[in-house]
Amino acid sequence: MKTNIYVFSLFTLFLFLSCEKDIDNENSCFSIEFSDGTVIKGNNILFYDSSTCVLFLKEKVNLNVDTGDSVNPVMEFNLYVNEEKIYGGIIWPVIFNKIPDLPYISCRSYPYFESDFMEIKHYKDSANDYRIIECLEKNNLLKHGITCKIDTVYVNSYSDSSVTCVLTLENLDDINYYVPDPRKMGVSRFNCYTGGLGLSDKTRDVHYSANYSTSQGCNELSLDDLSVLKGNSKISFTYTSSYRTKFDKGTFSVKLRYESMGFFKPVTLNLNQDDGRIWIGQIFVEKENIVFN
């Protein structure tokens, strides 16, 4: 009887180790290797958001950061899928105005990178190479985030140069995201936080008037600024913004940077909430050939 129990225990242990090995093998298709020897593999990843090219990690990583010289070289990285290099880049502090001419992971602090997510900037096509997407999707590490669309834009009043815009966000994932709501933030803070809705014609740009007058910093978000965008659903926002420069009738294009704690913005909130996660990232959206009559 004892022999049977012993054999059964060995068999169970063998199955457990085999399963663990299979999981490791599956997750090993993806890795990021840094020049200091730090390695991020699939089993370190919470998920990757392909819409914003943000990689969320299970734990924080700590890396040295520098702008590069003979004494303090810049921190480099290479991304691999199945041991094949897909692309390489550097970690770059956002406090420096110059943007590198190669892919980079934006660093919000200097001289150390300490975060549980990484924003991969500059080349979205490289960051979303089909081999990366296939590997992460196979291992249930891929999310598609949200999309932003400008539905309609029209002149609310020429006398005070005000324009009304209708935005629609679509959640492509099955989890809930907390997203900035211009109605809750108020148009001044929303414009200040995102940069506002930019109008341009053939001769000039027309910028929003922030009229910022609130005690809360315009670069920070609170939970009161956010609404829940349920999984696999849509939500629309309508807001009206006035412009300092008056404009005449004509054909315009509009641009908007919709963001939540992305790039230069500080991460002021716990990303995990009771009813989902706070969405992080930047989406640039544009609508052309809008005729103001």
81-133 tens-digit pLDDT: 999 999 999 998 887 777 888 999 998 888 889 999 999 988 888 899 999 99
pLDDT of residue 215: 53
pLDDT of residue 8: 45
217 has pLDDT over 50: yes
Structure tokens at 112: 């150390």
Of 95, 127, 142, which residue constitutes the final position of a domain?
A: 142
| Domain range enclosing 85 | 27-142
> What CATH number corresponds to the domain at position 154?
2.60.40
Nearest to 187 by CA among 126, 243, 131, 246: 243
Helix, strand or coil, per DSSP, at residue 155? strand
pLDDT of residue 243: 87
Does one domain contain both 187 and 124?
A: no
Of 113, 142, 171, which residue constitutes the final position of a domain?
A: 142
Q: Is residue 84 part of a domain?
A: yes
Nearest to 279 by CA among 146, 116, 136: 146
25 has pLDDT over 50: no
Q: Is residue 4 part of a domain?
A: no
pLDDT of residue 124: 84
Does one domain contain both 130 and 185?
A: no
pLDDT of residue 22: 45
Please compute the mean of the pLDDT values over residues 23-50 and round it to a whole number: 85
pLDDT of residue 249: 87
| Alpha-carbon distances, residue 198 vs 190, 235, 245, 263, 288 (angstroms) | 13, 22, 12, 19, 12
9 has pLDDT over 70: no
Structure tokens at 110: 């200097």
Q: Is residue 268 part of a domain?
A: yes
Give CA angle at 13 (8, 17), nearest 5°. 150
Does one domain contain both 288 and 267?
A: yes
Does one domain contain both 254 and 180?
A: yes
Does one domain contain both 124 and 191?
A: no
Residue with tokens 């500080």: 266
54-69 tens-digit pLDDT: 999 999 999 988 766 6
Q: Is the peptide bond before 111 cis (omega within 30 degrees of 0)?
A: yes
Q: What percent of the chain has pLDDT over 70?
A: 86
Q: Is residue 8 part of a domain?
A: no
71-80 tens-digit pLDDT: 667 899 999 9
Does one domain contain both 49 and 72?
A: yes
Count of helices and strands (H, E) across the chain: 5, 20
Does one domain contain both 135 and 34?
A: yes
Nearest to 37 by CA among 77, 1, 89: 77
Structure tokens at 196: 């506002």
pLDDT of residue 70: 61
Higher pLDDT, 19 or 232: 232
- The number of folded domains in the chain is 2
Distance CA 6, CA 1 (A): 9
| Alpha-carbon distances, residue 259 vs 10, 76, 119, 146, 178 (angstroms) | 53, 27, 13, 11, 12
Of 142, 157, 187, which residue constitutes the final position of a domain?
A: 142
Distance CA 274, CA 189 (A): 26
Strand bridging mode 162-171 / 104-107: unpaired
CB-CB contact of 207 with 255 (8 Å): no
Q: Is residue 122 part of a domain?
A: yes
Does one domain contain both 228 and 162?
A: yes
Does one domain contain both 136 and 155?
A: no
Does one domain contain both 208 and 77?
A: no
Mean pLDDT rounded to a whole number for the chain: 86
Please compute the mean of the pLDDT values over residues 262-277 and round it to a whole number: 90
pTM: 0.84
Distance CA 184, CA 72 (A): 45
146 has pLDDT over 90: yes
Q: Is residue 133 part of a domain?
A: yes
Q: Is residue 11 part of a domain?
A: no
Does one domain contain both 184 and 278?
A: yes
pLDDT of residue 147: 97
Q: Is residue 15 part of a domain?
A: no
Does one domain contain both 149 and 288?
A: yes
